[in-house]
Amino acid sequence: MSEKPYTEILLENGNRFRVFAESTDVSDLVWHQDQNDRKIYVHESSGWELQFDNQLPLILEAGNVYTVPRDTWHRVIKGDGNLVLQISESVITEEKGESKHEPQYSAPQGSKRDKQLDATKADLASDDPKRKARAYRRRERMERQEREKNESFAMTEEDLRSLIREVLLTEAIMNEELSKKTKATLRKKAEDRGLTAGSVEAEYKKGLAAWASSGSRKGMTQHQWAMARVNSAQPSKSWAVVKKSKAKKKK
């Protein structure tokens, strides 16, 4: 099983661009939960489905937005071709028990939306016409902002195809078989530094992919850049995937 069943790029606006390739192993598409509320915009899908716990699967249709509440068990069911998604996430920093609002309102207890709905309810319950008018203005503003968020998912066909090519190129590089000579070099580096061979190889492949997608220092070849990444990687660094080996380091 691979580390993740998809390839992902973090966009400048904080959204995630995620591609499940046609070659995805169905055994990798497991039930899971997310820590935050997510909105999923489907750019491309053919027969792929989204299923929530104890519910029938929903067909993921291109152009539609789907909401996945945090801590909700769900899974993706494989279809034909690639599944291309764009994901935005709402981080909830405060929680005070169960939400007073219906789940479909996407207003967890303590969230900004929860507080806005509570304020609106209080304004509408008052006898003050000004407060009631303010309540309606607030609600209009809330939903307009949500619509604008959904519209921000839109991408040109050219941008979309470019991102898909970049993601699939990254996946191809990560799945590429390294030469025996390169594997031997990486294995020796792992032994010398007390790291697992698999994690050092994964770090090298990430370097290959980064050279293609993110760039490098001037004049460096793809494999030079990948090896440089391996040489500077440490388990303590947030961007690194190398792991310490339980075996004793050879002297």
More confident call, 3 vs 235 = 235
Helix 129-151 vs helix 112-125: angle between axes, to the nearest 10 degrees? 150
Residue 81 near residue 103 (C-beta atoms within 8 A): no
Contact 209, 175 (CB under 8 A): no
- Beta strands 65-68 and 74-77 are unpaired
Domains and CATH numbers, the chain: 7-91 (2.60.120.10), 103-151 (no CATH), 176-232 (no CATH)
| Confidence label for 5 from pLDDT (cuts 50, 70 and 90) | confident
Per-residue model confidence as pLDDT tens digits over 67-96:
999 899 999 999 998 899 989 887 554 444
- Least confident span in 98-107, 131-140, 196-205: 98-107
